[in-house]
Structure 1
């Protein structure tokens, strides 16, 4: 009798401990057909990750008591059309971090999303996806940062995150000062209430070798009127010294529901180059997403990007080294795609 009671107590304790931790396997499978004409060549191909990037991942948490939790995420990207790993040099190339969360915020360490990419769905009507993807003209400066320490907090509609990415350049790795090559300091802060959501982001990247820094600031948001949701954003990117750059990006767009399962997306993007004459560009786009279920959707989109004489966004032709541009000035790029996405 005593042994039975002890066994039941052990099982109960084991069950309670298991209930305090959880691990979730999740992912996205997305592929479609794309037709693109960039003025130099016309291509019909199978493209993966049009609506959402293909991935599989593991995420979990453990309740440590007193409102404290341990958390982790390991997320790997892949190309659904070929089955290949998205990044041959990095298996968990999308996100890989561990951290702790409490009522006072969340601290994470590892590879994480940078502020422009992390907040794209707030200010981009295409949500960084399909042919209208704002990154076709906006300067994201990558999507994720390695070796990042972040602190995130949200309350009463306010939300924000501070980020610091260690440069880890040998012999040039101080946390502060001019010799902090490769390091990234970034943040975003926002406010969401009812139909209104606005966010401000800033990113400061010390290039490697550190002869200059790239700074980007973006203000954007959306307002949901019910029958239509309006989006807008304005960004400025500056690099001084070697590789000088001074560009301004603007976006305006909308989404509108079609019945209970569909959404129409429209956008206009504009890039203005203040250092190079006749090097501006703009893009118009339209898309449609139809949800067959909570996890499966069909989609299609079309975008036309137009360059000034000295710009070549999405139209450049490069030599075998992949770096030297040998053609593509002043051409337009037209992109159409159609496909299916399933999440699990």
Structure 2
């Protein structure tokens, strides 16, 4: 009986170990917080320029926690899911418009041979395949385009969507996404679609993609309200004058090359906000953005980087934005690091305000989300990030 009991116990432990190896659920997250000093921030009266000292959450990485898991279905096929919640460390508030799992919420099937199909709220192929080749991947959104006008720092996700991700074929990979508009009798209203491709071989990585979102047909006082399967990007003075856009279209390419301890990269995007009779502007707003960066791994624990970003607006008005950033990161361990970031932006020319009126262009560095109230802005930021 003792031998039989020992055999049963051993078999049970082996079965449990096998089940755990084939099926898993992982809890993970990032907590990122710092203090930012901003020279030129729009004051309470909306006109004056002030010095701002603010608590800043999610600087190098958006603060989050999530669950992801797989179930082995056999034959190289697995069921997969991921639920990811964004939050503000300073206040504890939910991110992404107060959604419980606003960063990501998907379920799907993954095959070693055929790739992965997921359904839910998720990132578009440009974010997956191009964003990782920019300085955003190393030092976060303050290095991004002004006001994140081209989704450099993934300000938008796509809800009610289905996405296909291919396996990697000798370093080459493709993706495609479609977000359902869900309007009866008008299948194109609110729809989103995107596709992209990437190639990685040794020190060289390249990516390119296309994104299109329809803004829907909802209007308030004969002005369009964005009701798409895609989130919007109209968050700062850089592009809030185009919030009544009929559509968002983004073409983006990027690449990087590793040379010893250094990494150099470049990216370009063309973003167009389309208009119609329910928009407060008439001509298509076209933003062309180019960025460069150089990173250097000084020691295994210390990395430094510099980036430059140039943006031009044509169409309803003409504006130019020049931005330079510096960053340094010190790893205390494999999971915890300290960082310091700095940036300066100069704006010139004219843009539109929310009423469609031509106004002087104002600065707003990267994805920090602070309007300057004037044509220049500078920031310094220090913080800590912990991954679990």
Matched, 1:58 2:67: yes
Of 331, 338, 362 in structure 2, the residue corresponding to residue 291 of structure 1 is 331
Equivalent position of 1:148 in the other structure: 161
C-alpha deviation, 1:11, in angstroms: 5.5
Q: Deviations over 1:160-189 (max 9, x none)?
A: 2111111123x2552xxxxx1111110110
TM-score w.r.t. length of structure 2: 0.78
Please point out which of 182, 187, 192 is paired with 2:195: 187
Note the aligned Cα RMSD (angstroms): 2.4
Aligned residue number for residue 177 of structure 1: none
* Structure-1 residue corresponding to 2:179: 165
Paired with 1:48 and 1:331, the residues of 2 have a C-alpha distance of 25
Aligned to 1:319: none
Residue 333 in structure 1 maps to residue 377 in structure 2: yes
- Select which of 103, 117, 128 maps to 2:127: 117
Count of paired positions: 327
Secondary structure, aligned partner of 1:60? strand
What is the CA-CA distance between 1:68 and the residue it aligns to? 0.7
**Is contact 2:207–2:253 with CA below 8 Å preserved after alignment?**
yes
The aligned residue for residue 249 of structure 1 is: 289
SS of the equivalent of 2:362 reads coil
**Aligned counterpart, 1:81:** 90
Q: Which moved more, 1:118-127 or 1:41-50?
A: 118-127
Q: Which of 249, 257, 263 is equivalent to 1:215?
A: 249
Distance 1:168 1:257 in 2: 48
> Is this contact kept in 1: 2:37–2:52, CA < 8 A?
yes
1:31 correspondence with 2:81: no
Whole-Å Cα distance in 1 between the matches of residues 66 and 303 of structure 2? Answer: 27
Deviation at residue 124 of structure 1 after TM alignment: 1.5
Instruction: Provide the residue aligned with 1:133 in structure 2.
Output: 144
Of 108, 111, 129, 1:99 maps to 108
> Unaligned stretches of 5+ in structure 2?
42-48, 219-244, 351-360, 366-370
| Deviating more after overlay: 117-126 vs 295-304 | 117-126
The Cα offsets for residues 276-330 of structure 1, whole Å up to 9 and x where unpaired, read as 4441111001110111111001000110011113222428xxxxxxxxx9x93x5
Specify which of 271, 277, 280 is matched with residue 237 of structure 1.
Answer: 271
Does residue 1:205 correspond to 2:213, yes or no?
yes
Deviation at 1:93, TM superposition (A): 0.7
Deviation, 1:204, is: 1.1
The answer as to whether partners of 2:146 and 2:321 remain within 8 angstroms in 1 is no
Deviation at 1:238, TM superposition (A): 1.9
- TM-score, normalised by the number of residues in structure 1: 0.87
